[in-house]
């Protein structure tokens, strides 16, 4: 009897187990048939193509046109050259900063960087280097094109996510935002935005240089072009490229790998200070200008990092998010002692909101804070940098301080200030994106 009772108990238990198994299976099948359907949308970047023939024929000089998307800036003589991202260069007569006016526009597809020396304007066009004769500022003439000298394959895209490039469709000259919609069952996978290219884009881009073709001008801290003496130095995603510009036809002399995600270049006292996503590199251009020699590397947190230098100190802004390497929290100003170029040392860190370009003049430090405006700092004591003023009602990208006139660019346009008294900046003029300022009637 005990054995029968025991056996019945085991049979009943087995039956219950089997029934439970089938119940779970039915529930799982039911769940599969009852999946959630949802629709998600996101923005991604789509390449804009030109055929080779269209690309070469597109370079033209036209009448002034509206400022659309201000990018790099360059000041030379009485003229301000403003890059309209991937479209070309505005030529602005700035002889009177209180009344600047548009003198012309050079259409250059895929243009992001500019520099001027004497009568020559240097500009990139996708991977090419173009040289214009600007002896008549308001009527530039293309005199030469050097093809495929910049490696932009890694830096063309405007941000993540982006659609792959199809080389068979032509040359990528721009990127446009497109809205994408997807209907999916279950949990959708939202495309991420780790980091991308910001035409860092990212002091003065050129130092005064004596030579047969004249001196160079002044660029913003986001520059990838720098002119010193008879040489044009340019950085792309990973390389430093050197051109001999002693003659109107540039000669490529050297190309050397620098590091990862190279962003900006700043010449100072026969050295180049190169900003990348995780370091500042220092190169000597005195010993052999045709082939710069690395002196040292200063490592910092991963972020976008334009750099300017004055006397024995370098000033670097780091920012997160945007199209920068997406390490959150790295929004700061770092001050670095470079009196010993072989052993740079950080001497100060100052919290910022979202810093972009910067400029310095005799201890007056100007920092673009992106959507958070413009900060003026007192850096007369590099060990104790102090905020003097914060202008919050403007959006800023880069600055050029030059002989008492501060040129500020941002997505909404260009503002110029008189900074002879930094505590009381005086607005001189405003050029808004979407408008053309014509020559005033005298």
Helices (H) and strands (E) in the chain, counts: 2, 32
| pLDDT tens digits, one per residue of 242-252 | 999 999 999 99
| Mean pLDDT, rounded, for 228-232 | 95
Burial 116-155 (b: 16+ CB within 10 A, else e): bbbebbbbbbbbbbbbbebeebeebebeeebeebbebeeb
Between 2.60.40.3880, 1.10.357.10, 2.130.10.10, 2.70.98.10, what CATH number should domain 43-166+193-432 receive? Answer: 2.130.10.10
**Range scoring the smallest mean pLDDT among 10-19, 237-246, 315-324, 415-424:** 10-19
The pTM (predicted TM-score) of the whole model is 0.81
pLDDT at 8: 45
Contact 283, 292 (CB under 8 A): yes
Residue 190 has pLDDT above 80, yes or no: no
The larger pLDDT score, comparing residue 295 to residue 299, is at: 295
**Range scoring the smallest mean pLDDT among 9-13, 72-76, 158-162, 231-235:** 9-13
pLDDT at 189: 58
| pLDDT tens digits, one per residue of 345-402 | 999 999 999 999 999 999 999 999 999 999 999 999 999 999 999 999 999 999 999 9
Break the chain into its structural domains and give their ranges: 43-166+193-432
The larger pLDDT score, comparing residue 384 to residue 71, is at: 384
pLDDT band at 204 (very low <50, low <70, confident <90, very high): very low
**Separation in Å, CA 193 to CA 174, 301, 309, 330:** 19, 19, 32, 17
Strand order across the beta sheet in which 101-107 lies = 60-62, 101-107, 88-93, 79-84, 70-76, 218-219
| pLDDT tens digits, one per residue of 24-38 | 555 444 444 556 677
């Amino acid at each position: 009897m005990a054995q029968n009772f025991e056996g019945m108990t085991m049979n009943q238990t087995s039956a219950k187990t089997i029934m439970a198994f089938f119940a779970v299976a039915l529930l799982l099948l039911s769940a599969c048939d009852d999946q959630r359907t949802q629709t998600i949308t996101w923005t991604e970047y789509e390449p804009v193509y030109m055929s080779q023939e269209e690309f070469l024929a597109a370079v033209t000089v036209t009448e002034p046109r509206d400022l659309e998307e201000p990018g790099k800036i360059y000041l030379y003589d009485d003229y301000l050259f403003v890059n309209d991202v991937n479209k070309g260069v505005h030529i602005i007569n700035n002889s009177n900063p209180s009344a600047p006016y548009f003198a012309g526009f050079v259409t250059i597809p895929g243009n992001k960087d500019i520099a001027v020396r004497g009568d020559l304007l240097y500009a990139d066009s996708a991977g090419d280097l173009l040289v214009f004769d600007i002896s008549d500022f308001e009527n530039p003439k293309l005199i030469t094109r050097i093809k495929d000298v910049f490696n932009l394959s890694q830096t063309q895209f405007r941000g993540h996510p982006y659609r792959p490039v199809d080389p068979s469709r032509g040359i990528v000259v721009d990127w446009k935002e497109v809205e994408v919609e997807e209907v999916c069952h279950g949990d959708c996978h939202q495309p991420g935005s780790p980091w991308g290219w910001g035409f860092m884009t990212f002091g003065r881009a050129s130092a005064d240089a004596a030579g047969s073709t004249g001196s160079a001008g002044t660029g913003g801290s986001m520059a990838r072009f720098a002119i010193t003496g008879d040489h044009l130095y340019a950085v792309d995603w990973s390389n430093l490229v050197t051109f001999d510009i002693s003659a109107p036809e540039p000669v490529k002399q050297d190309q050397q790998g620098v590091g990862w995600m190279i962003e900006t270049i700043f010449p100072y006292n026969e050295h180049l200070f190169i900003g990348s996503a995780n370091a500042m590199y220092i190169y000597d251009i005195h010993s052999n200008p045709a082939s710069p020699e690395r002196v040292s590397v200063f490592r910092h947190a991963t972020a976008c990092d334009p750099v300017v230098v004055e006397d024995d100190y370098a000033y670097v802004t780091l920012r997160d998010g945007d199209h920068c390497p997406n390490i959150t929290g790295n929004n700061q100003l770092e001050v670095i002692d470079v009196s010993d170029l072989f052993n740079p040392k950080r001497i100060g860190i100052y919290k910022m909101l979202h810093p972009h370009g910067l400029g310095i003049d005799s201890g007056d430090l100007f920092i673009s804070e992106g959507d958070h405006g413009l900060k003026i700092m007192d850096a007369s004591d590099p060990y104790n940098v102090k905020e003097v003023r914060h202008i919050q009602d403007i959006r800023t990208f880069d600055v050029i301080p030059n002989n008492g006139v501060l040129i500020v660019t941002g997505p909404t346009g260009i503002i110029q200030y008189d900074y002879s008294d930094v505590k009381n900046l005086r607005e001189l003029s405003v050029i808004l994106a979407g408008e053309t300022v014509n020559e005033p009637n005298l």
